[in-house]
Structure 1
Amino acid sequence: MTELTRFYQTFQPTHYDIFLDINRAAKQFSGKTTITGTAKTQAIAIHQKGLVIESVQADGQNVSFTTDKAADAIRIDLAKTGNVTLMISYQATLTDSMMGIYPSYYEVNGEKKQIIGTQFETNFARQAFPCIDEPEAKATFDLAIKFDEHADETIISNMPEIRNENGIHYFDTTVRMSTYLIAFAFGELQSKLTTTKSGVQVGVFGTKAHQANELDFALDIAKRSIEFYEDFYQTPYPLPHSWQLALPDFSAGAMENWGLVTYREAYLLLDPDNTALDMKQRVATVIAHELAHQWFGDLVTMKWWDDLWLNESFANMMEYVAIDALEPDWHIWETFQKSEAAAALQRDATDGVQSVHVQVENPAEIDALFDSAIVYAKGARMLVMARALVGDKALRAGLKAYFAAHQFDNATGADLWAALGDAANMDVGAIMNSWLEQPGYPVVTAAIVDGQLTLSQLQFFIGKGQEIGRQWQVPLNSNYTAAPAILTDKSVALGEYAQLRKASGQPFRLNVGNNSHFIVKYDQTLLNDILNNVTAMDAISQLQILQDLRLLAEGGQVSYAAVVPLLSRFANSRSTVVNAALYQVAGNLKKFVTPDSFAETNLQTFFDQLSATQVARLGWTAKTDESNDDQLTRPYVLSAALYAKNTDAIAAAHDLFTANQTQLATLPAGIRVFVLTNEVKNFGSTELFDQFLLAYRRSTDASYKADLCAALTSTADVALITRLIGKFEDAETIKPQDLRAWFRGVLANDDAQQAAWDWIRNDWQWLEDTVGGDMEFSTYITVIAGIFHTPERLAEFKAFFEPKLATPGLTREITMDIKVIASRVDLIEAEKQAVNAAVAAVVE
């Protein structure tokens, strides 16, 4: 049902008293919620979902009500408008959907245990208590919880516990906040605490299945992140504590509940002695992201879900700003370039993609807004552009003013642009709205026309796209002063190229630093000039050349065959970002070859050539003096050598496996996945499969479990593939939160793809019942679209998903992904012969 009238328009709560009595054994809870607020009309609606409402009182008198299941509502008729106190009593059931109030399952020494946690974003608070479950409906909350308590259990919430009476835990009154940020959890938890310089208590909590030292890294990052943000925002952290909680079952990566941030265990807890650097960086940025939200999202919240980007894009940028300040040796902005920027540019080039700012009314469609490549990654790139335009001084001054004006309240994107614009004395909104309100981005063509250096912009598409005259205000960031700071027109002439080149002394470049959201197509003269000077360029510039050529090739504007002979120029770079970009292009060549064909043998030889020098330099094990770049580059080149079926690489990995067979978890985390996968692919057996599957079930190390998943899903044994898919619906082995990674691994395996595709089509209803309420659900479709590349698979994809186009929350994803697969099929048909010939030529 379309929610054209938001419930907040009829009833505006100011305070909630919430009492919950939770019985884990029965998976039931009862509740009593008292809401004080203002009724704007006599007929009001309160959100609820799955609650059995027993009674409703208004100012102490029973009132009639009806339950409107379609609208997730209790509809109440009041005797008068104005101030009113509602008291609603109800019963409900704990869910197993990782939404609302739900149990998380884990084992300690073979004993099964559970802790209770919550997940209320986007609109699942209504599954826990009746409320106006909309971001704008901010109120204060008093929470009291009783549960079937055992000895040695802990209960935590957004605010500190102030007393325990008759087994009821009472928590301090919250500040004014949105319902989706309420959280609590209880069970047998261990914790480590510290205090920031300003006196905020910081804690990390996890189950006792983990070693105590697995909490240390997160505690350090959380403490220093809060201290950094208090300084950067020039606004104090507004709560007495900041708890970070790892839940064994958690659908998303993490959730910014105010004062009680919840995380998937993989993104909070880690072995400080054996975790790869890139995983440490991932955990650090996730923590910094969620803590950025404590101000941007929690203190000031978007007015409605159409401004979701306001929360997520900003936190996505700030996680890098923070970690760059806390760990400067990590050069974390390089990670932004090879992950966020690449994802945004790829996704945003498909016709029909959503804009960053999206109108949405139907609550069932809200979860579909969480397109990570757009709302998170593209939005963050927009804000990086804005930061570059206004500078850090104006950014910080604008944010301080923004927080002061809107704290404990709501805001829109226009409010942010106004604050930044005032601080920078610039119409930031006019520039940014061209990026915020329309989908896609331009390719800026730089060409010499009749001796003149000219620039023009046109929307860039991968696959078929309808040109409708979209234009952007493009921050060009050129290294030539003749180029305007911002390209506002369709085209512009900069002057006589020969004179400009002579005066500059360097090749003409656009988007220096790769911070603006566009790509560049240089004509052959300009491109040759760049390539002839490429070794003198910094790593980001080299990444950008490879990135733009890859996208232009995907979009059919240049030939992949022309890109192939350029790759060897970058093969010996010691920069991680260059290697990431290089092997992304090389990896894309795999779609042009048929498995076990002569063309694939040539491609494997090419991979061997690209990686040989680096493999010899880096080896399999870390050296005492190696750089962060060396650590992060090693996985790219080892993976390439193994794809190439390099006999030395296969033997080296097998030797490492044999030497560590009794303690595989202690293999160096940076190479462990390659050792395990190599063993399954080249030395596999039923016994090895059983050994790995048992290790997966027993381990609590998320990084090791991910490596085992990657290894197991690479098997070519049909019987083992069948057994593996048989575990997909066994939550004792594969938790629903982890299933997508297993499904993707099997689907990407040529020997197993058919079985995985058959499973998801046959058991789609089970999947929908199990994880269908999750904002990540549609990404199962994204995963399929990222792999399929034949006309037959496209036809099967359409046959299965087109009948589901009317499903709320799936419509855009299905439509987009049909285009994604179709464009890949067309590209392969057009380019396959030329690409294979180009690869054959470079390996002769």
Structure 2
Amino acid sequence: MGKGLYISKSVGITLIVLAVAAVATIIALSVVFHNEKSRTVEKPQINETDQWKSYRLPGTLSPQYYNITLWPRLVPDANGMYIFTGHSGVAFTCVKETGLILIHSNKLNYTLTPEGHHAKLTGLEGAKAPAINKTWLEVETQYLVIQLSETLQVGKIYWLYMEFQGELANDLRGFYRNIFWLLLLLKFVTTIVATTQMEPTDARKAFPCFDEPAMKAVFHMTLIHPSGTVALSNGTKTITLRNQNVLQTKFKPTLKMSTYLVAFVVSEYSSIRTAAETDVLVRIWARRTAIEAGHGDYALSITGRILDFFQSYYNSKYPLPKSDQIALRDFDAGAMENWGLITYRETSLLYDPITSSNKDKEWVSTTIAHELAHMWFGNLVTMKWWNDLWLNEGFATYVSYLGVDDVQPTWNIKDLMVMTETHKAFAFDSNKFSRPLSLPEEEVKTPAQINALFNTITYSKGGAVLRMLSEFLSEPVFARGLSAYLKQFAYGNTVYTDLWGKLQEVVDADPEVNLPATISEIMNRWILQMGFPVVTIDTRTGNITQNHFLSDADSKPSRSSPYNYEWFVPISWMKNGTVMDRYWLLEKNATHDPMKTNSEWVLANVNVSGFYRVNYDPQNWQRLLSQLSTDHSVRSSVIPVLSRAQIVDDAFNLAKANMINMSLALRTTSYLSEEREYLPWQSAIKHLNTFINRFRHTEVNTKMQKFLRSKVQPLFHYLKNITADWTEILSSHTDQYNQLNAISLACTAGVEDCLDLTKMWYRQWMKNPDKNPIKHSMRSTVYCNGIAAGGSEEWEFAWNLYKKSVDDAEAELLIYILSCTRKPELLNRYLNYTLDPNMVQKKHVNYVIRHVANNVVGQPLAWDFIRANWSNILKEQKHASFFTILYFTTKSFSTEVELKKLELFKEEINKAGFGTEALVVDESITITKENMEWMQKNKGEVMQWLKEELA
């Protein structure tokens, strides 16, 4: 036998037991390994329940490009509705594993697939698309929700296709219809324009899309439209095909951009354009009659030049081959910066050199510059989310004035920005209910919350704060930082810290810039807390303090501050006319010895270079007022013109906040009989109008009128002399504005020469309407005062012109001047006309009531009209319009009787079940109570000051 191993019985039993145990262990380990393996390989469970209840997209998908075809019907269907039909597809990448597709959709009706779904999903570039389990529309959060049978694969690209129909409504949102009338053969013909307004959240009303600013993509557009119409979109037209009775126009794909910048228009408009050899094709589109009348010529003449300025300023080439700009009759905003196809309200783009005023020309200029500034700041580089909207709008506001200054260097427009933007921002931001420029993302979710950001803080304060930043950096350094920012983040999205970072890089590389802290440390205090400081300088001690300025001294801010309402304040200042080195106030209290003085005057915030107000000790206030009163060569005054205007504005606002006496504020106007510049006069008139309105039914009024006459008569006669008895046009832009101020205030104050002048001019116009003798820049003021001094004949003349007007600018001017009559029966008739859309267009109703309410005779009539017709006004006007009308009608209320009427009005609205509107009345009640307190506090002091001033 062969060689082998011998094992005893006991050992064998032991080995068997061990073997069984080993097998059991192996089996157990195998089970454990299998379970572990299963857990590793099994796909994670993704909790996507109710994601569609969130207003923000989950960030699981990233759109790459859209193919969109839309067909607007410019005639009503059998049900009397205007509709559009369309189909679109979007290619998107899965960036996070998900079994759910959320795409924005609002008020769109879908053609269902044979499986009963709203959409079809396929894979691209080899990806396999899972089946769709279920689709539905989530109305509240505005989604088309698509649940899948399996999850999408990360990194794979998919194609989502949908067919849909929407209403081409007249709500000025999304894809909507615009109506204008053509006068053909002595008959008005209605014409429909199909146009868009996507910002901020209405692209989803035109086509299903990932409607958030960070969801940038490329858009391929095709429009089907009637013969005889022109189709426009962001891209350049590639081809137009004729198919029976319709045309099909395709456009080149856009650059990568946000959905809110998508635009398309179908119209019968005509255009003018730049020469073919220009680098960028600029076209101005409008109604054919407006183009033929030359109303688009001014816009065409400046658009290319402003584009060139921004290309140089940003050191960045305009990336598109064309810039279409189109004027629309019905447009909710002033304009919209759609990339390559900017849409405007007619009055924001068209300028009639015969009938338009200087103010109209300035408005067209700044609006065009604002929108073109967005081509880089907003379109090329876009804020990541709407909470940083100020990055778009604040920059466009500030640099728009630089653009206009380049094409109109004699206008002094950069100084005018202080009056137009900074003062407006001061007024809004001194309210306890203001807000920071940049809000936390969680505060901005819903469409309503996003829309609420489009206000004075975003635009005007944003522009003013950036002006301050540019001032203390210097404009060249600021521009270099912007250029670096645009270059790094082109076609992307940013937050404000990205901008601070690029500016800091430029500052660090420039030894000439000396800052006390980083850009972030300085600027975050200005954008992350609401409000602004008042800096108080005591020239007796050199002590400087800062405090959060609130116009209501007894109020508290409505939100806390991460910086305890302290700012890093750049103080530019001068002493007795000598400009001193900038001083930085970095804490609540500090001492700066050079500001200590016994006899020299100190002026801080020279030329309003910073976003703050300034107060002084009484002795320094007196020295400043003495300087103003004794320096009669005001045009060469050692106190700059902007600072003269700011002294007045600061003083009245400080008095309102109980920081100085009202008589001190009024004393800042004592020198005005020597003032010849527009800005100080405009600042003073703004505040003096408050006194005119509040005291017009009291015994103070007579003395106030006498005071005003004494101050404005020298200006009135000065301007009369330098214009050769009003026959010559002043060369200065601001002088022409001051001419209007002089005429308006002189007529209001009862200067006989002014009343005779305006009556004579108006009568000359009535005799020969086609040869108007009144300079167009003066017409608004002259017409108003001519109607005020006249009677029924003057009013009927203007009313007939309004009924025949087809130009928006002309109509709005006539709407205003008709409210100027002092005849109660005419004003009552005018108010009643607003109830009939055949007499006063619906879009003008708000303005009619507001203008009548601003008339001393019309104010009580407008109030009676609102109380009698409030339900009809609410029915026909938006909630915001009702608020505006009520505010303008009751803003001067200051008596117990007026307060009681408001409280009864609130009860009436409440009983009718209009709770929200009753809250609007609450605002008027609050303002009335504040006015009553103001009158009680200031009436005696004002009366005493006037007596002394006129003695």
How does the TM-score come out when normalised to structure 2?
0.82
Distance 2:222 2:727 in 1: 52
Q: Is the 8 A contact 1:355 1:437 kept in 2?
A: yes
Q: Which residue does 2:141 correspond to in 1?
A: 71
Distance 1:368 1:236 in 2: 33
Distance 1:3 1:531 in 2: 61
Distance 1:696 1:423 in 2: 56
Q: Which residue does 1:486 correspond to in 2?
A: 584
Shift of residue 522 of structure 1?
A: 0.9
Equivalent of residue 550 in structure 2, options 424, 443, 461: 461
Between 1:350-359 and 1:634-643, the stretch displaced more is 350-359
Q: Which residue does 2:84 correspond to in 1?
A: 29
Q: Which has the higher contact order (CA 8 A, sep 6+)?
A: 1
**1:225 aligned onto 2:306:** yes
Q: How does 1:104-123 map to 2 (within 5 A)?
A: 104-109=178-183, 110-123=188-201
Shift of residue 542 of structure 1?
A: 0.7
Distance 1:797 1:181 in 2: 44
Q: Is the 8 A contact 1:350 1:820 kept in 2?
A: no
> Gapped runs of 5+ residues in structure 1?
none
Q: Which residue does 2:949 correspond to in 1?
A: 842
Q: Which residue does 2:19 correspond to in 1?
A: none
Equivalent of residue 230 in structure 2, options 154, 159, 170: 154
Q: Which residue does 2:520 correspond to in 1?
A: 429
Deviations 1:613-640 (A, max 9, x none): 1111223735256533321101111111
Q: Is the 8 A contact 1:574 1:629 kept in 2?
A: no
Distance 1:375 1:781 in 2: 25
Q: Which residue does 1:418 correspond to in 2?
A: 501
Partner-residue secondary structure (3-state), 1:64: strand
Counterpart residue type for residue 479 of structure 1: M
Partner-residue secondary structure (3-state), 1:533: helix
Shift of residue 332 of structure 1?
A: 0.4
Distance 2:532 2:910 in 1: 31
Shift of residue 59 of structure 1?
A: 2.6
Q: Is the 8 A contact 1:656 1:675 kept in 2?
A: yes
**1:609 aligned onto 2:710:** yes
Distance 1:825 1:340, change over 3 A: farther
Report how many aligned residue pairs link the two structures: 831
Q: Is the 8 A contact 1:3 1:362 kept in 2?
A: no
Deviations 1:363-385 (A, max 9, x none): 2221111122x111111111011
Equivalent of residue 13 in structure 1, options 63, 78, 81: 63
Distance 1:693 1:492, change over 3 A: same
Equivalent of residue 530 in structure 2, options 435, 439, 462: 439
Equivalent of residue 577 in structure 1, options 658, 671, 679: 679
Distance 1:159 1:549, change over 3 A: same
Distance 1:443 1:824, change over 3 A: farther
Q: Which residue does 1:370 correspond to in 2?
A: 454
Distance 2:262 2:866 in 1: 34
Partner-residue secondary structure (3-state), 1:16: strand
Shift of residue 267 of structure 1?
A: 1.2
Q: Which residue does 2:152 correspond to in 1?
A: 81
Counterpart residue type for residue 351 of structure 1: K
Distance 1:243 1:230 in 2: 17
Distance 2:282 2:916 in 1: 37
Partner-residue secondary structure (3-state), 1:242: strand
Q: Which residue does 2:271 correspond to in 1?
A: 191
Distance 1:126 1:702, change over 3 A: same
**1:541 aligned onto 2:643:** yes
Equivalent of residue 831 in structure 1, options 920, 933, 938: 938
Deviations 1:56-91 (A, max 9, x none): 233357763111111112111123324321111111
Distance 2:901 2:390 in 1: 34
Q: Which residue does 2:691 correspond to in 1?
A: 589
Counterpart residue type for residue 376 of structure 1: Y
Partner-residue secondary structure (3-state), 2:303: helix
**1:206 aligned onto 2:310:** no
Q: Which residue does 1:510 correspond to in 2?
A: 604
Larger radius of gyration: 2
Counterpart residue type for residue 110 of structure 2: I
Q: How does 1:422-821 map to 2 (within 5 A)?
A: 422-425=505-508, 427-448=518-539, 451-463=540-552, 464-466=554-556, 469-479=564-574, 485-495=583-593, 506-534=600-628, 535=631, 536=637, 537-595=639-697, 597-619=698-720, 621-624=726-729, 626-661=731-766, 662-663=768-769, 666=772, 667-685=774-792, 687-728=793-834, 730-731=836-837, 734-757=840-863, 772=878, 783=888, 788-790=893-895, 800=906
Shift of residue 591 of structure 1?
A: 3.7
Partner-residue secondary structure (3-state), 1:31: strand
Q: Is the 8 A contact 1:154 1:188 kept in 2?
A: yes
Q: Is the 8 A contact 2:168 2:194 kept in 1?
A: no
Distance 2:175 2:937 in 1: 52
Q: Which residue does 1:177 correspond to in 2?
A: 257
Distance 1:377 1:812 in 2: 27
Q: Which residue does 1:100 correspond to in 2?
A: 174
Q: Which residue does 1:42 correspond to in 2?
A: 99
Distance 1:673 1:485, change over 3 A: same
Shift of residue 192 of structure 1?
A: 1.2
Distance 1:234 1:213 in 2: 33
Distance 2:680 2:759 in 1: 29
Q: Is the 8 A contact 1:43 1:75 kept in 2?
A: yes
Shift of residue 791 of structure 1?
A: 5.7
Counterpart residue type for residue 711 of structure 1: I
Shift of residue 244 of structure 1?
A: 1.1
Equivalent of residue 142 in structure 1, options 220, 234, 251: 220
Q: Is the 8 A contact 1:367 1:809 kept in 2?
A: no
Q: Is the 8 A contact 1:680 1:688 kept in 2?
A: yes
Deviations 1:780-811 (A, max 9, x none): 5765675555566567668749989x999999
Counterpart residue type for residue 78 of structure 1: L
Shift of residue 728 of structure 1?
A: 3.3
Q: Is the 8 A contact 1:364 1:808 kept in 2?
A: no
Q: Is the 8 A contact 2:795 2:818 kept in 1?
A: yes
RMSD: 3.1
Between 1:121-130 and 1:487-496, the stretch displaced more is 487-496
Percent of residue pairs identical = 27
Shift of residue 520 of structure 1?
A: 0.7
Partner-residue secondary structure (3-state), 1:9: coil
Between 1:640-649 and 1:430-439, the stretch displaced more is 640-649
Distance 1:539 1:298, change over 3 A: same
Distance 1:406 1:423, change over 3 A: same
How does the TM-score come out when normalised to structure 1?
0.92
Counterpart residue type for residue 36 of structure 1: A
Distance 1:765 1:141 in 2: 45
Partner-residue secondary structure (3-state), 2:669: helix
Q: Is the 8 A contact 1:368 1:810 kept in 2?
A: no
Shift of residue 317 of structure 1?
A: 0.2
Partner-residue secondary structure (3-state), 1:294: coil
Counterpart residue type for residue 241 of structure 1: K
Q: Is the 8 A contact 2:52 2:102 kept in 1?
A: no
Counterpart residue type for residue 385 of structure 2: W
Partner-residue secondary structure (3-state), 1:102: strand
Q: Is the 8 A contact 1:366 1:809 kept in 2?
A: no
Q: How does 1:236-251 map to 2 (within 5 A)?
A: 236-251=317-332
Partner-residue secondary structure (3-state), 2:604: coil
Equivalent of residue 393 in structure 1, options 476, 482, 498: 476
Distance 1:761 1:298, change over 3 A: farther
Q: Which residue does 2:21 correspond to in 1?
A: none
